[in-house]
Amino acid sequence: MPLKSLATFGVALLAASLGCRCSSRCCIPATPHVACNFKETTGETLPPNLRELTPDCNVVECNLQTLPSPGETYELLTASDAQCRAATNATIANLVKLEEHWAGVIIECDSKIVAENVCLQRDLLELHAADERNKAAAAALEAFYQLAAIEARKHYLEQATQETTRTRDRLDKLREQGLPAEVDRDEIDARLTTLEDQRLQLDFARVQLNGQLQKLLGCPVSESTFFWPQADWEPNLTPLDADAELAAGLPNRFDLRGLELVLCNLEKSTIRVARGVLGVADATLGSVEPTDGIVHKLRCIKCNDHEVDVRCRQLSMLHTDTEQLATAEIKGAVYQIVMQQQRVALARSAVEARQKNVDALVARRDADDTPIFAISAARGRLYEAEGELVQQVASLKTAEVTLKKAQAALAAECGFEPKLCCEGCCNGHCMRCVAPTCKTCEQPCSCEKCRK
């Protein structure tokens, strides 16, 4: 054996004998497991007697904790404040802004090819930051109108509770006097329980929405601080043109602008940006990359440029699909507003009808000897209808926010317009060359042939 080969063999043998040994001795540790062995039972035939298990808080002191509630004053909040403060303080958008800064540093100091990649990537970051601000503004406005609806509905809920309580007190007085009553007291008690339950749910939702707004607006989260939403309650019932709203919103969509940006400026040198964009749509897209190394590059030298054509086709297909989804989203938001406008009109008609019923009962109370209980029940239905009208108007406002969000308009209204370097130029590879579509007989070889 030549001396050089003998020396190589000796070094390999020494490394194998002195090198790091496998600490697990090549075995795989067992993972925790609990056997599925349970006791058998026939099951209980009767449910638990919760009436006996739960203390009666009307008899004993329960010391139930109360939900946080506002003090004497609130913090005034307008819709524009909620929208623009949330857009400005959007955490992800501000993190992306720092990423853009780092991209700018690389552009200034690295090579031309790297700068081309990072310039395109920086524009995509700018679009993503604007998208995050748009979403944050929408979330804040939705919470704003939901909170406004809660504060308004609580007024009518309290009115209904007071009216029902007065009815119960009148019934008790009649019973004490031994007089008959046409109203079932159990129904009144059930009604009061339902109203109290609704009040508790509204109080809890108010705490949640205040906390959500505090986080979105960049304020300290505190259950002792409450916003008072100063909303414009006048509903806009103007008919909408779905095609006009689509034409106004589609060019501003951040997802479409990002895809168009890459499609228009893609070159072989910026192929990794295309892989990243495709990977956002689906993790498998852009995952196949050429193997590094001079040998692999020489073997595939005739196919080196083919990936650009593949990425162009993928980006074009993704752009078409995204445009269809955006069209459906915008038009869906338009028709949601149309539906909500009709629901507002229906709720307004219900309030008018119930108000007329109350007025009619009061007008003939003395002449026809109308029972006070009938008037009280009619007032309760009126308060319920007024609370429903509040909810429908708030839902209309929220639907309008959804449309503006789909049109990418909310961040722009607060002055956050993406400033792009590469937009406006559309002379990249995808625009110059379109690879032909292969026929079935021209497809690459099958896997069976490749394995030979």
| Alpha carbon distance 163, 406 (integer Å) | 44
* Percentage of the chain exceeding pLDDT 70: 86
Structure tokens that stand for 330 in this block: 């915008």
Domain boundaries, the chain: 70-432
Tell me the mean pLDDT in the region 160-170. 94
| Spatial distance between the Cα atoms of 365 and 359, rounded to a whole number of angstroms | 10
- pLDDT, one tens digit per residue, over 296-320 is 566 666 677 788 899 999 999 999 9
Token readout for 234 is 């006048």
CA distance 145 to 15: 72
The confidence score (pLDDT) of residue 356 equals 96
pLDDT score of 241? 97
Q: In this structure, what DSSP letter does residue 57 have?
A: T
pLDDT class for 446, splitting at 50, 70, 90?
Answer: very low
How far is residue 271's CA from residue 325's CA, in Å, rounded to a whole number?
25
Burial of 31 (0-12, 13-18, 19+ CB in 10 A): exposed
Residue-wise DSSP of 156-207: HHHHHHHHHHHHHHHHHHHHHTT---SS-HHHHHHHHHHHHHHHHHHHHHHH
Cβ density class 247-272: b for 16+ within 10 Å, e for less: eebbebbbbbbbbbbbbbbbbebbbe
- 333: Cα within 13 Å, side-chain hemisphere: 22
Q: Is 139 exposed, middle or buried (0-12, 13-18, 19+ CB in 10 A)?
A: buried
Greatest alpha-carbon span in the chain: 128
Q: What angle do CA 317, 244, 231 make, to 5 degrees?
A: 110
Q: Tokens 């650009």, residue?
A: 308
Overall average pLDDT of the 28-43 stretch: 89
Which residues, in sequence order, are CB contacts of 37 under 8 Å at separation 6+?
none
Give the CA distances from residue 105 to residues 41, 193, 422, 440, in Å, rounded to whole numbers and listed in that order. Answer: 69, 64, 17, 48
Residue 408 in 3-state DSSP? Answer: coil
Give CA–CA dist 352/11, Å, rounded: 97
What's the distance, CA 415 to chain centroid? 22
Q: Model pTM?
A: 0.87
380's tokens = 């309760």
Task: Judge contact between 394 and 92, C-beta under 8 A.
Answer: no
What pLDDT was estimated at residue 42? 86
pLDDT of the residue at 368: 73
Residue 450 pLDDT > 70? no
CATH of 70-432, one of 3.90.470.10, 1.10.1370.30, 1.20.1600.10, 3.10.580.10: 1.20.1600.10
Cβ neighbours, 10 Å, residue 207: 15
Q: Helix H segments across 89-111?
A: 91-109
State mean pLDDT over 340-355.
Answer: 98
Residue of 223, 167, 225 whose CA lies nearest to 195: 167
Confidence label for 353 from pLDDT (cuts 50, 70 and 90): very high
- pLDDT higher than 90, residue 12: no
Tokens coding 342: 């009709």
CB 406 within 8 A of CB 326: yes
- Over residues 206-225, the mean pLDDT reads 96
